[in-house]
Every structure is written in structure tokens, then in C-alpha cells.
Amino acid sequence: MHLINTAICTCIVLFQGAAGSITRSDVSLSSVMQKWKEYQLQCLKYLYETPPLLAEGKFCNGTFDDYACWPDGLPGTYVNVSCPWYLPWASTVLHGHVYRFCTPEGTWLLKENSTLPWRNLSECEASDRVREISIHSQCTQVPQFINSPTIKVSLSIQLSFFHCCLNHLYPAAFI
């Protein structure tokens, strides 16, 4: 574990629903991380308790890929799961799905020129309905013990949603 300084930022976000109403939501990185950890534990429990899709033959193994919880997949099919509920904008993508493809060989399709699995999460991304209106100007420097998986998840969340805070991150966090 490393002792590093990170900036803890709270972003105030507007969510505009289908009816056009706008609500305010204060979202902190620590609350998102806590929800992500709960989601991960639920997924791992599900994967442990669920019997394999097939007793024999090829199939794609269920997994948690640090974004979504994937059940076993049949060869040659797309597998979809609902957008993860830990996302700060989950209420705006309630009917969205994230997709993976299980190849005829029974392995998850990989991104081109990569060893990482392909996935389409476009239905789960924050949409134009989500508008940033303000940032608390007091992003405080807080020393924390953080392990590398936590850094990986927190940076992915920051890069996809908390981009508003990136200018305030303490530079030593990236050294």
C-alpha cells in the first residue's frame, strides 16, 4: 500500500429526467467507491453460488470485470446485463445495458489488438441530460492508504464522471 495525497472532490450535478424535471445530486468519490465495493461483493457471491451454465462443453465463464457482473455466456451469443447500480447517474440509465460477446470457441471476445475483453457500455454512460453546474471549490488534500485496485477503480470513475475534479488533483497522486 502507498501513502499518497488525493483530492477528494464533491461534484454537484443536475439530472434531468424524462419529464424534464431537474434534481440536484451531491456525489462524492467515497460514496461511489463504497457502492462499487458492495456491487463487487454481490457479484462475487452470485458467481460463487450460481452453478455453471453447462455441465459439459464450451461456454464463457461468468466474471466481474471491475465494471459489471457477467453471468456465464453461451458460445456465439451476446450477453447483456443491466447498467451497474453503483454509477452516480444510474437513475438516468435504468433501462440501459452493457454487452459482451461470447465467441463460438467459448471465450469472451477481445478488443482488437488487446488482451482485454470487448464490451459495449454506451447505454450506461452519462448522457447529455447530466449537466455539471458547480464544483465545491474546496477540494481538500487528504492522505489515504490506497491499494492499486482502488486506484484503478477510482481513476476510471474520475475519468468517466469526475472529470470536473481532475484539474484539482494533487500531482503527487500520479507519480
pTM: 0.62
- Mean of the pLDDT values across residues 76-94? 96
Question: Residue 107: pLDDT band by 50, 70, 90 thresholds?
Answer: very high
* Of 106, 54, 39, 57, residue with least CA distance to 79: 106
CB neighbours (10 Å) of residue 102? 23
- Please tell me the predicted confidence (pLDDT) of residue 2: 36
pLDDT digits (tens, 9 = 90+) for 153-175: 554 555 454 444 434 444 444 44
- Mean of the pLDDT values across residues 144-159? 49
Distances (CA, A) of 71 to 14, 27, 52, 100, 101: 33, 29, 9, 10, 12
- Which of 18-27, 29-38, 47-56 reaches the highest mean pLDDT? 29-38
